[in-house]
């Protein structure tokens, strides 16, 4: 486990960067032309960024970026 000491200005910058990256990922995930394997990798990246975001953001901000879990294999009901 690591610790990180940052001031308020650095915290705001970190939140801004995480929000910007998560917004871009959410936009990319809406592209139907993308292969499901690529979408899965992008989704994993989003989850990592969101976990970081939860550490520096308020509950209200986190609610805005929470994703509803969906089945990536909609046609595969085995």
Mean pLDDT of 46-51: 96
Find tokens 């209200």 and name the residue: 60
Whole-angstrom Cα distance, residue 22 to residue 19? 5
Name the residue ranges covered by the structural domains of the chain.
34-65
CA distances (Å), 10 to each of 4, 52, 53, in order?
11, 14, 13
Name the pTM for this structure.
0.79
**Residue 71 confidence class, pLDDT cut points 50, 70, 90:** low
Mean predicted lDDT score pLDDT of the chain: 89
Q: How far apart are CA 13 and CA 62, in angstroms?
A: 16
Contacts of 67 (CB under 8 A, 6+ apart): 26, 46, 50
């Amino acid at each position: 486990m690591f610790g990180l000491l940052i001031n308020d200005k650095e915290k705001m910058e970190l939140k801004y960067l995480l929000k910007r990256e998560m917004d871009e990922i959410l936009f990319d995930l809406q592209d139907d032309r993308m292969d499901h394997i690529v979408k899965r990798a992008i989704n994993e990246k989003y989850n990592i960024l969101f976990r970081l975001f939860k550490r520096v953001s308020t509950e209200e901000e986190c609610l805005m970026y929470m994703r509803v879990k969906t089945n990536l294999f909609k046609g595969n009901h085995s």
